[in-house]
Amino acid sequence: MENLTFVYCSCKVIWTLLVTILGYASSLPVGDDSICTTEELAKYSIIFTGKWSQTAFPKQYPLYRPPAQWSSMLGVTHSSDYSMWKKNEYASNGVRDFAEKGEAWVLMKEIEEAGEKIQSVHGIFSASAIPSGTGQTSTELEVHPRHPLVSFVVRIVPSPDWFVGIDSLNLCEGGHWMEEVSVDLFPYDAGTDSGFTFSSPNFATIPQDTVTEITCSSPSHPANSFYYPKLKILPPIAQVTMVKLKKTQLGLSAPFINPPAKSNEVIDSVLETPLDCEVSQWSSWGLCRGICRKTGTKIRTRFVLLQPANNGIPCPNLDEETGCEPENCV
C-alpha cells in the first residue's frame, strides 16, 4: 500500500511539473530560430530618412495635390511566429488599408491579436510623418531575446498602394545585440491596387496579387512612375538606421520616447537620375501646300510626352517637312 501511495505521489508531482513546463512553453514563440541567446533587453533609436527627391526620381514627381511625402511609420518588435508583411506573399487587410489609405486601425488590431494569441509581439513603435519626399523622422524601440526581429511599414504618398519597409530584421547576431545597422529601402507594391502612377485613381486588383518589389524595369510599362529602363537598379528611395542606445536588464522596461519629425533634413548627397525626353508618334501628313505643277510641301508633327531632366537625352525635332505634288490642280 505504501508503494502504491509513493507511486501515486510521484506521478502527481511529475504531472504537475509537466503541466507547469507546458504552460511556460505555450507563452514562448513557437519557432525558436529567432531566439537570441543574450539575457538582456536592448533599446534602439530608429531613424528613417526619406530620399525621394525630384533629382533622384524625376519621372512624374508629385509637386502638388498632394506633393511627395511620407506617412507615419508603424512597426513592431516580434518573434519569427509573426509576420507584418512579406515579399511574394499576400498582404493582410491591415497592410492593404495602410498602403492604400494610410489607415492603421486594422493593422494595429492584427498586431494586438497576434501578441495576445501566440505571444509573438513584444512592442509596437511609431514615428511621425514627413511632409516632403526628403527628410527624417525617428523614434525608439525595444527588443527582447525572444523577440529580436523588427518590421515596419511607411506609405509612399501619393501612390496607389506603394510602401517601403523592413520585414523581420534580426538585431541579434552571434548572441549579441548589433550596435548599429543601416538598410537602404526600395518601393514595394502591396498587390491590392492596379495603378501605375503616383496619382492613379483607385482601381482594385482583382484577384489580389502578392507583395512585389517595384524596380526600374518592373512593372515593365512606360507609364509606371518608377520605370527607368536605362538604369540597372533604382536609387534607394529611403534609408533606415538603427543604433543601440543602452543595455537594460531583463524584466525592466525602458520609457518610450517619440521625438518629433525632422523635416527637410537630407544627410548625404542626392543622386541624379537622368531622364530622357519622350515624344508621341508622328501625326498623319498634312495637306500638300504649293503652286500647281510645282513641288509643294507637307508637314507632320509630334509632341512631348516627358521633358528630359538631369542631362537626359534632349527632345528631337517636333515637326518634319517633305516635298509633295499639290492635288486638285486644274
Divide the 330 residues of the chain into consecutive groups of 10 and give the mean pLDDT of each group. 45 43 40 68 96 94 94 96 96 98 96 87 96 97 95 98 98 92 98 94 94 94 90 95 73 42 46 79 89 87 82 86 81
Count of all residues that appear for the chain in the document:
330
- Tell me: do 92 and 178 sit in the same domain: yes
- Tell me: do 240 and 309 sit in the same domain: no
pLDDT, position 8: 43
pLDDT, position 51: 97
- Does some domain include residue 308? yes
- Tell me: do 106 and 157 sit in the same domain: yes
Cα separation, 156 vs 148, whole angstroms: 27
**Which of residues 210, 229, 263 is at a domain's end?**
263
Closest CA to 219 of 232, 206, 228: 228
- Tell me: do 229 and 293 sit in the same domain: no
- Tell me: do 149 and 219 sit in the same domain: yes
pLDDT, position 291: 84
Cα separation, 145 vs 40, whole angstroms: 7
- Does some domain include residue 6? no
- Does some domain include residue 228? yes
Task: State pLDDT tens for residues 182-202.
Answer: 999 999 999 999 999 999 988
Cα separation, 72 vs 102, whole angstroms: 8
- Tell me: do 157 and 225 sit in the same domain: yes
- Tell me: do 190 and 295 sit in the same domain: no
> Which residues are CB-neighbours of 132 under 8 A, at least 6 positions away?
50, 67, 68, 69, 263, 264
pLDDT, position 20: 40
- Tell me: do 218 and 319 sit in the same domain: no
Query: What ranges make up the beta strands (E) of the chain?
Result: 40-51, 69-78, 121-127, 134-143, 149-157, 162-170, 172-173, 176-177, 180-185, 188-189, 212-213, 238-249, 262-263, 278-279, 296-301, 304-306, 319-324
**Which of residues 230, 263, 296 is at a domain's end?**
263
Domain range for residue 165?
A: 31-263
Q: Is 65 left (phi over 0), alpha (psi -120 to 50) or beta?
A: left
Beta bridge partners of 73: 127, 154
- Does some domain include residue 26? no
- Does some domain include residue 314? yes
* CATH number of the structural domain spanning residue 312: 2.20.100.10
- Tell me: do 317 and 209 sit in the same domain: no
- Tell me: do 131 and 191 sit in the same domain: yes
**Which of residues 216, 237, 263 is at a domain's end?**
263
* CATH number of the structural domain spanning residue 186: 2.60.40.2130
Residue-by-residue DSSP string for 89-121: SPPPHHHHHHHHH---HHHHHHHHHHHHHH--E
- Does some domain include residue 167? yes
- Does some domain include residue 17? no
Give the helix/strand (H/E) hosting 25. helix 2-26
- How many domains does the structure of the chain reveal? 2
pLDDT, position 168: 97
Contact 27, 119 (CB under 8 A): yes
pLDDT, position 35: 67
- Does some domain include residue 259? yes
- Tell me: do 120 and 206 sit in the same domain: yes
Phi, psi of 318 (to 5 degrees): -100, 0
* SS3 of residue 22 by DSSP: helix
- Tell me: do 308 and 216 sit in the same domain: no
Contact 323, 300 (CB under 8 A): no
* 0.85 exceeded by pTM: no
CB atoms within 10 A of CB 10: 10
